[in-house]
Amino acid sequence: MAQIKNEAAYRAALKRIDELLPLTGDDVPDTDPNMLEMDMLCDMVEEYENIHYPIGKPELAEVIRLRMFERGLTQTAVAQLLGISPSRMSELMHGKLEPSYHLSRDLCIKLNIEPSVVLNL
């Protein structure tokens, strides 16, 4: 398959995708030329972005902060929810505390955080 080799080609592909979006809806068959072009461009853009704009793994503290924001919770409220002291919560948020098995399980269940993030996999 063709590849996007530079930033100019990447920008041109994004522009073309924007042009194709109105022409490729749910009612358009997969065999439509616009849909085929869109699929090909999207694959090429994804490959380029994976190389040039990789998304790193989130840190546990970042995900906890996101959950706190989403639920309108304070750090103290999260500590209570998890059954740990505010000082232990602070250590966890600053990377000074590795979560135990039970705390890891509670983070997954009570804050809906993926186990791979909690276990830093």
Domain boundaries of the chain, sorted by first residue: 7-52, 60-118
52-110: pLDDT as tens digits: 999 888 899 999 999 999 999 999 999 999 999 999 999 999 989 899 999 999 999 99
H helix and E strand count, the chain: 7, 0
Position 33 pLDDT exceeds 80: yes
CATH topology of domain 60-118: 434 Repressor (Amino-terminal Domain) (1.10.260)
Nearest alpha carbon to residue 104 among 95, 116, 94: 116
Based on the number of CB atoms within 10 Å of its own CB, is 104 exposed (0-12), middle (13-18) or buried (19 or more)? Answer: middle
Rounded Cα–Cα distance for residues 104 and 107 (Å): 5
- Note the pLDDT of residue 23: 87
